[in-house]
Amino acid sequence: MNRKLQIVNGLSLALMALPIFAAEPVLTKDAEGKLLFDARWRMEQVDDDAFAKDANADTLRLRLGYRTPVRSGWSGVVELEHTSHLFNEDFNSTANNQTAYPVVVDPDNTELNQAYLQYAPTDATKFMLGRQRVIYDNQRFFGNVGWRQNEQTFDALNIEHRFGNGLNFRYTYLDRALRIYGDDHPNKDFARWQLDAHLLNLSHKLGPGSLTAYAHFIENQTLPLSSHQNIGLRYVAKHDNKDGIGWLASAEYAKQNHYANGSNTIDADYVLLEGGMVWKTNTFKAGWERLGGNGSYGFATPFATLHAFNGWADRFLTTPVNGLEDSYLGWNRKWGKVTANVAWHDFHSDRMNIHYGSEWDASLAWAFAPKWNALLKHANYQANDVGFDVAKTWLSVEYIY
């Protein structure tokens, strides 16, 4: 095992500060233009028992863009993104042919990350057309994969409206997915998916939380057999109590079937149950997530920010055909500018009674100066009935202007 990895493995805490960007703000009043810039250096080490060599990746990601002034509700954004490796390329980026090493999906790349026009005639309505981030709810189905150096964006039309009765409506048409592998990837069908997809989302406040109904109709013209539809319902609630104990809860169900030219084997469901307690600056969570499998197909979320789910070691980016059940516990606490996270997962199949393994994750994040943050993070996956043990460690520093 790499000596640096051994040292970091000895720590009881590492970091989880998942840099997921929020959706773009609605700007309806005249506003000045804004320079967009951020830079992130990251060291990622992977000790995967399936490989004789450890991966060691040092990468730098730069973004530079501009948001125009808002005039009568109209504005625009253009943003470039560049990722490059530093030092030796001792990792498999999926584009560099270093297949003797474990995969670290941060290939060298330069691309147009965002370029869209926005029109917000009122505070309640927004239209966006062009290349943009598409983020829905907790990113379980659609997100920007902000954890990777090259984020995921879409060529899309997005429409949002907030009705006076509290009902929120959102519709997104997706024409193309620009995936985390980048425009410079040698396999263009791997890096870009041509889509004909319609996303519908309705939400309304209900009791202490919000109820959301959604429907996704996704025709993947690049991989037609993967075309599918999701119909689901999600409820998220929270009760704050500054002087005592607060609570939070989530429940979600979705059904997935084939759509357009999708394979007839696509037939699975999704269930999430999660509860938690908030006390002072501590948050405790317990949850159970099931992605169904029928022996030929496992519930798929190919456009999600997958790193945020089922352990940071990323052992389940694709759901096994026998499905996945993830039982987990988590703890989060803040001390001023420092945030700590610890999580434990136990993974089983949805059918066939397979114990895939278990995982410990831990993290520390430090916002050490204005616009600067650092993070240290570790994941340790222990295989059981199938697979291999994997340990991953990350260290990064980021500046956001």
Distance between CA 29 and CA 73 in Å, rounded?
Answer: 6
Confirm whether pTM is higher than 0.85.
yes
Alpha carbon distance 71, 122 (integer Å): 12
Q: Do the Cβ atoms of 398 and 370 come closer than 8 Å?
A: no
Question: And the tokens for 252?
Answer: 């979600």
Going residue by residue through the chain (401 aa), what tens digit of pLDDT does each one get? 443 333 333 333 333 333 333 445 555 566 789 999 999 999 999 999 999 999 999 999 999 999 999 999 999 999 999 999 999 999 999 999 999 999 999 999 999 999 999 999 999 999 999 999 999 999 999 999 999 999 999 999 999 999 999 999 999 999 999 999 999 999 999 999 999 999 999 999 999 999 999 999 999 999 999 999 999 999 999 999 988 999 999 999 999 999 999 999 999 999 999 999 999 999 999 999 999 999 999 999 999 999 999 999 999 999 999 999 999 999 999 999 999 999 999 999 999 999 999 999 999 999 999 999 999 999 999 999 999 999 999 999 999 99
C-alpha distance from residue 31 to each of 26, 27, 75, 161, 174 (Å): 11, 8, 9, 21, 29
CA distance 214 to 141: 11
From the DSSP assignment, how many helices (H) and strands (E) are in the chain?
2, 18
Pairs from 95-99 (Cβ < 8 Å, separation ≥ 24): 95/181, 95/182, 95/184, 95/185, 95/186
